Amino acid sequence: MADLDLPARQGFAPDASPAALPSEIPLTLTINGERRELHVRPWTTLLDLLREDLHLYGTKKGCDHGQCGACTVLVNGQRINSCLALAVSKDGCEVTTVEGLAASDGALHPMQEAFIEHDAFQCGYCTPGQICSAIGLVHEGHARTPEEIREQMSGNICRCGAYTNIVDAIEDVLAKGTTK
């Protein structure tokens, strides 16, 4: 019978006397075209800011470790894992989430249309990340073949297994050249 004295599985040594909470830092972001003046603590990720502070729950948390891609958003047009970005590090950036893709009249982005048409999702939880990632991929301009799409979309896991339909949807958008 061994006596163990362990931190409860959090991975870092417990702080015996917690200091006061870190203070909030001012931050300016343009989110889906709207300029926002915000105050956030330095430990807040862009993902948690979007979801918990701004209630933009379209961006999903699947792993919080940059391993699944569900949190993919576009920052200055580039796809990133928003769970791996501290919000304060993005001061002055333009952030586009899934909520900002459709036109103001409600018309869907061609990638959203293609995802519906090709049945490129089932449960829908990875879908906002897949769509943002796919738009980022098209902008990057490197993917030409299905093989390249597969490779360059492999940071976005879909547990329902809609991959073949996702590739079809992206190919369709690439072929039509309609992405904004």
Binding mask 17-56 for other proteins (x = CB under 8 A): xx-xx-------------------x-xx---x--xx--xx
Q: Which residues contact 83 (CB under 8 A, 6 or more apart)?
A: 45, 46, 47, 61, 63, 64, 65, 66, 71
Q: Which stretch binds other proteins (CB under 8 A): 23-31, 63-71, 74-82, 87-95?
A: 63-71
User: What are the residues whose beta carbons fall under 8 Å from the beta carbon of 175, sequence distance 6 or more?
Assistant: none
Buried b (16+ CB within 10 A) or exposed e, 55-92: ebebbbbbeeeeebbbbbbbbeeebbbbbebbbbebee
In degrees and rounded to multiples of 5, residue 110 shows phi and psi of -55, -30
Q: CB 45 → other proteins: shortest distance, Å? A: 9
Neighbour count for residue 2 (Cβ, 10 Å): 3
Q: How far is the CB of 37 from other proteins (least distance, A)?
A: 19
- CB-nearer residue toward other proteins: 11 or 92: 11
Q: Least distance in Å: CB of 134 to other proteins?
A: 11
Provide the minimum distance between the beta carbon of 104 and other proteins in the complex, in angstroms, as a whole number: 13
Site residues for other proteins, 79-138, by CB under 8 A, read: 97-99, 101-102, 108, 112, 115-117, 119, 121-128, 131
- The answer to whether 179 contacts other proteins (rule: CB under 8 A) is no
Considering the complex, state which of residue 116 and residue 180 has its C-beta at the smaller distance from other proteins: 116
